[in-house]
Structure 1
Amino acid sequence: MLLARKNGSFPMPGPCKRPVALLTACLLALPARAAPDDALQLLGGIAYGHDDNLLRVPEGGAALRGARSDRWWQREAGLLFDKTYSRQRISLVARLSRYDFDRFRQLDYNGKDLQATWFWQLGNRLQGKAGMLNEQVLASYTDLQSDQRNLRNRRARFVDGAWRFHPSWQARVSLRRDTYDYELFAQRFNNRSEDTTAIELDYLPASGSTAGLVARRIEGRYPYPRGVNPGSVGDRFTQDELGVRALWLATGSTNIDALVGYTRRDQPAYGSRTGSLTGRITASYQPRGKVSYSAAAWRDFAPLESTDVSYTLNDGASIGARWEPTARIRIDANAAYVRRNYVLRTGSSGLEGSRDAIRARSLSATWSPRPTVQVKFLLAHEARSGLEALRSAAIRSNSVTLSASAQF
């Protein structure tokens, strides 16, 4: 076994020596040649990480169980399958992982990522996909003050189809259901299902750029009412969106992808309907050199994993850069800013105009000694401003992760 516990914890000869030794052993144990073009591939990975504020304790707040920081081990194994039969393509992903924490052992958990997709095609005019997703992860503690494990299980079922009724025109219809379940009782108010129906009409010129109209409806249901004095109310909602989608291949090195429109959200627990301009614009620039850039800006309604509020209206922006000095080394730097505008619930007060902000930065270095092997070092920082109306103070977190993964 690569990992062994002694008295319930991992022996650590030093802060770095054990992770480096394990990662080196993992690489040496790999077969001499992998086959990335095989339909079936096995995958494995191991990671070591440290976070100086794992449970996102507010600044000035008392540390949970007398500590803020913790380190963890992650082991992962699974398989990938991707094969085309005539015009039908089948893609399968099955990943199982194990996370073990050194101090907060009550958080230890088994993660999973199961995906199955059928990319179907009938003749030359009809194509689409159908599939499912099931994943289990540890939910974020950014908006939750607890030292208890809170697993989030997400399940998705989807199907869509596109009809190319003209060389330059295409119509698409899609159906999707997402369900979210939280393990922690204090978070069960966020259990929900979302049914999405969308219709699109796209213009496809010979240049490769696209433009079209998108109409979408999302119906959300929360099985457990959220406790709000003097009683409890449900958080069900209906969200209607109408927008314009465009992919502009501006030059050989610049792409701009945008979806901009108007969203109307009807959530009875929050009073009258709320409407806003929403959308997302993403731009990428990849010159002939070894550096590429990306940027994005967005405005959308987003769910909030909190015991007090179910959603916010967010304004966000991000930038990123990638440097590839050699064919085997890649450096990535990213920064993001999200301002969350809280919507006032009917019968409540004190949240008018309330907002907070989340800032995130990351720097990573990836080394690929072989085409199917990656070793990655990641530094990350996250900070949230305080919001007095929700009795939350500012938080900060810094983390470091060293990982190795391979397909064979």
Structure 2
Amino acid sequence: MQAGIAAALHSHGIGKGCGETVRLRIGVVQLGVCLLIAAQPVLAAEGDTFTPYVGYGIYHDDNISRQPDDGVRSGDTWRKTTVGIRFDKEISRQRVRVDASLNDTRYDDFSRFDNDGRRLLANWNWVMGNRFSGNVGTSYIETLTPFNDVAADGTPLPSSVRTQRRSFANGGWHFHPAWRVTAGVSRDDVNYEDIPSARLSIDASEVGIDYIARSQNRIGLVLRHSDATYPNQLPGLGSDYTQDEVKANVKWRLTGKTDLQFLGGWARRRFDSQVGRDFTGPDARLTANWAATGKTSFTLAAWRELGSGIYRYDREAIVGEPDDLSSNYSRNTGASIKANWQATAKMGFDAMLQSEDRDYNRIDRSDRYRKSTLGMTYLPLRQLNIRLSVYDQRLNSDATSATTYRTKGFQIATRYEF
């Protein structure tokens, strides 16, 4: 079996040059396949509690080095193989969800970017009686540093495996049919394998109160405090900071087809020793969802937020991944529009336009970021998903010419669920 897998990987340009590293990577994929096969009997007995899956994708970027138009641009194509399993189970009134996967990524030309990644998302949605509920969860994501991650001075970060860990717990008490008090804590840790000084840890806590109407519309107030530290920072940098926020938290359905989400108010960031970089001002995000027809929907968003590794999330789940991880400070002002069209039961199309201006306070740098994507999703079978998409990404920066670039790319990704 191992020889067959090795041949298959080699045919796709994966595992060139035999040796212990290749055998280890083959073993990882082989283990994943064995786990999927072993899980098959469980599926028959447990229904959809366990869902093993495999994925394979081909990706291309024509400017991996993120060079300006007059620079030495280099593109590449890479292939990613994924094996994983998803667990979703309701136990009485509790619900447990886990998604774990391993992936193997190989580049055609830039073999130094080859990497093995891991991903784990776990959440326990707990309920106690009729008045108490919340979530406890963790996530672990190990992947290659994105090519567009750059330091505050505009220098691209070297290719390195980035590990993101997050643990959180939150809960709410319905002390009245229309009122709820909430509290939560979280810890985020981001580490770059080859850049120990860039490690970032954020401890956060929050309390809030919500008014919930009979229609389930919600309006509330949130107080949040964060402590960010760089445990391995170089002497004299003093990049640690604290942040306090007071924000309104609103989820409101205007009509049967339109709803609004708003999280915004005031934020204050104070650095331990960096003079002149403190910030106090508005910090908010507004999102509108509109189901125009039974097959067409739109999402519009506008924001003015402080960046630097703070997750955007609500009490139910993490929303996306942290951004601006490589920068200690940025004030991001932007907007986006997303459109989805479910043409048939098996085929859907989507498009997205995003524009964001990033101001790096008092370090003589500001960026303008633009991205557009166009995609198609096809489901030839209930278990099989095929995704095709193209993108155009631009960054204009006044820091250095090396941080102004344009890149285009595409992906063809498949996923089969057993």
The TM-score with structure 1 as length reference comes to 0.85
On the 8 A contact 1:59/1:393 being kept in 2, the answer is no
- Which of residues 135, 140, 143 is equivalent to 1:134? 140
Q: Structure 1 CA distance, aligned partners of 2:71 and 2:203?
A: 39
Deviations 1:310-331 (A, max 9, x none): 2211101100111111011110
Query: Amino acid of the residue matched to residue 363 of structure 1?
Result: L
On the 8 A contact 1:162/1:172 being kept in 2, the answer is yes
Query: Amino acid of the residue matched to residue 261 of structure 1?
Result: G
Paired position in structure 2 for 1:301: 306
C-alpha deviation, 1:149, in angstroms: 2.6
Paired position in structure 1 for 2:126: 120
Paired position in structure 2 for 1:362: 373
C-alpha deviation, 1:264, in angstroms: 0.3
Q: How does 1:195-234 map to 2 (within 5 A)?
A: 195-226=203-234, 232-234=236-238
Pair 1:101–1:121, CA change in 2 (3 A): same
C-alpha deviation, 1:390, in angstroms: 4.4
On the 8 A contact 2:148/2:156 being kept in 1, the answer is no
Q: Structure 2 CA distance, aligned partners of 1:6 and 1:88?
A: 46
C-alpha deviation, 1:140, in angstroms: 1.8
Paired position in structure 2 for 1:151: 161
1:261 aligns with 2:265: yes
Pair 1:161–1:90, CA change in 2 (3 A): same
On the 8 A contact 1:224/1:234 being kept in 2, the answer is no
Query: Amino acid of the residue matched to residue 213 of structure 2?
Result: P
The secondary structure found in structure 2 opposite 1:140 is: coil
Paired position in structure 2 for 1:348: none
Identity of aligned residues (%): 29
Q: Provide structure 1 residue ranges, at least 5 long, that are not aligned to the other structure.
A: 12-29, 346-350
C-alpha deviation, 1:132, in angstroms: 1.2
Query: Amino acid of the residue matched to residue 78 of structure 1?
Result: G
Say how many residue pairs are matched: 370
Pair 1:179–1:9, CA change in 2 (3 A): closer
C-alpha deviation, 1:248, in angstroms: 1.3
Q: Provide structure 2 residue ranges, at least 5 long, that are not aligned to the other structure.
A: 17-36, 309-323
On the 8 A contact 2:145/2:161 being kept in 1, the answer is yes
On the 8 A contact 2:351/2:375 being kept in 1, the answer is yes
Paired position in structure 1 for 2:177: 167
- Which of residues 236, 241, 245 is equivalent to 1:237? 241
The secondary structure found in structure 1 opposite 2:330 is: strand
Q: Structure 2 CA distance, aligned partners of 1:245 and 1:340?
A: 24
C-alpha deviation, 1:269, in angstroms: 3.7
Deviations 1:337-395 (A, max 9, x none): 110001125xxxxx1xx4111100000000012233210101011100032x3453410
1:72 aligns with 2:82: no
On the 8 A contact 1:270/1:344 being kept in 2, the answer is no
The secondary structure found in structure 1 opposite 2:197 is: helix
Q: Structure 1 CA distance, aligned partners of 2:157 and 2:131?
A: 54
C-alpha deviation, 1:37, in angstroms: 5.3
1:194 aligns with 2:205: no
Query: Amino acid of the residue matched to residue 274 of structure 1?
Result: F
1:386 aligns with 2:394: no
